[in-house]
Amino acid sequence: MFQADPQLSRVPGRRQPKPELDLKTASKQDHLRMVIVMDHQSPGKLDMQFPDIWLRDNCRCGECFLPQTMSRLPQLWNNLDTSVRVQQHSVDLDQEILYITWSDGHASQYPLAWLRERDFSLANRTRYLSDFYRPEPRHWSGTDFEHIRREFQYRDLLASDEALLEWLDHLAVYGVALIKQAPLEFDVLRRLCNRVGFMRRTTYGDEFSVRAQPGASNYAYLAAPLPLHTDMPYFEYKPGVTLLHTLEQSDSPGGVNLLTDAYHVADLMRERYPEQFRVLCQTSVDWADIGRDGELEFHNIWRAPVINLDAEGRYVRINHSIPQRDSHFTVPLEQVRPWYEAMALFVRLAHEEACSFKTTPGDVLTFNNLRLVHGRTGYDDTDRNVRHIVGAFIDWDIVYSRLRVLRNSKSNS
């Protein structure tokens, strides 16, 4: 049965709130002020617990919530009374609704299905984060690559939402996916990006052509070997996903793609070389790209470590590009040599863990540019045979958003 526990939601004998704002007034007991709801649908399961202040903040009534924008209205926060408490509450088991009357006179109701989705239990939070927020990444070594590589048909991605979802999910989990049988036309990447949302423009335009150009504006536009790197580390908003469409491939033995899961490299360093790992996480590096492409003159700089972690210690971004690392290195003197030692190790491991393959015309290689480092071996163009790749970017915000929309429409159909 669903049943609220009145004792836990009403803590007696609390002091009157002070007239002035005092951040120390919340007692230890206040943190424990919960409304507890038993889940009659699965006996034996832990009760759902909701902090009272969270319930008040998330009231669903017309004064507090605007359904058309699916968002909270701000009035409560004009002068939020954090001492607000539950006066009365009850559960209607037939309607599956929790009713609460508050000390400020407000009345709220919450559908139990809505509460279940937001249950604070570890199991529910884990489910939400990995099933819906973002798929859990699985890191891979160079030798794992053959097992995690997956191909998708271009035609299917344009025609089927199911195929689109599988491609984006695979890209989110493994960071790489190969699309086959795309036509040898210039607008292929635009059509793919439009299926997801929209293409990301950069200082090099929308689509860009990678082919040997003497006197090129970017190192990638030379036929020389291109060492492992991420694209555009010099942007605060670095493009999230790189798409490379092979229009023509070099007949020479070169032009082979190299790819490494740099999150796996970071795992190895974290485990075996913790000091060097710390240095790469904590030393800010100046990434830069200075020059001109067509009419646009640019001077881009972004300062950030090679390995970037979020508040929970998970990887959020790798930065690495030898040509696009500035000669400015704006750290204290004593941090310079340790960084070089740690970076030499990172580069060696990235090479050891690389997989290699050669794309053929009609292939679209897609990969996570925040996570993978990529490169290619050198090649020799001939008069009749010129390697020609078209590249474009799309951002992760757009990809994750499409994934969630596709998941929602799948579960509602």
Residues in touch with Zn ion (CB under 5 A): 59, 61, 63-64
Query: Could you give phi then psi for residue 261, rounded to 5 degrees?
Result: -80, 100
Q: Which is nearer to Zn ion, 62 or 332 (CB)?
A: 62
| Residue 361 to residue 259: CA distance in whole angstroms | 19
In angstroms, give the least distance from the CB of 244 to Zn ion.
51
Q: Which is nearer to Zn ion, 57 or 166 (CB)?
A: 57
In angstroms, give the least distance from the CB of 51 to Zn ion.
17
Amino acid, res. 62: G
Q: Which is nearer to Zn ion, 53 or 226 (CB)?
A: 53
What dihedral angle (degrees, nearest 10) is formed by the CA atoms of 227, 286, 328, 352?
-30
Would strands 315-318 and 355-357 be described as parallel, antiparallel, or unpaired? Answer: unpaired
In angstroms, give the least distance from the CB of 52 to Zn ion.
14
Q: Which is nearer to Zn ion, 65 or 219 (CB)?
A: 65
Q: Which is nearer to Zn ion, 61 or 216 (CB)?
A: 61
Q: Which is nearer to Zn ion, 56 or 387 (CB)?
A: 56
In angstroms, give the least distance from the CB of 62 to Zn ion.
8
In angstroms, give the least distance from the CB of 80 to Zn ion.
13
| Residue 259 to residue 280: CA distance in whole angstroms | 20
* 246, burial (CB in 10 Å: exposed 0-12, middle 13-18, buried 19+): buried
Cβ atoms < 10 Å from Cβ of 390: 21
In angstroms, give the least distance from the CB of 58 to Zn ion.
9
Q: Which is nearer to Zn ion, 72 or 127 (CB)?
A: 72
In angstroms, give the least distance from the CB of 59 to Zn ion.
3
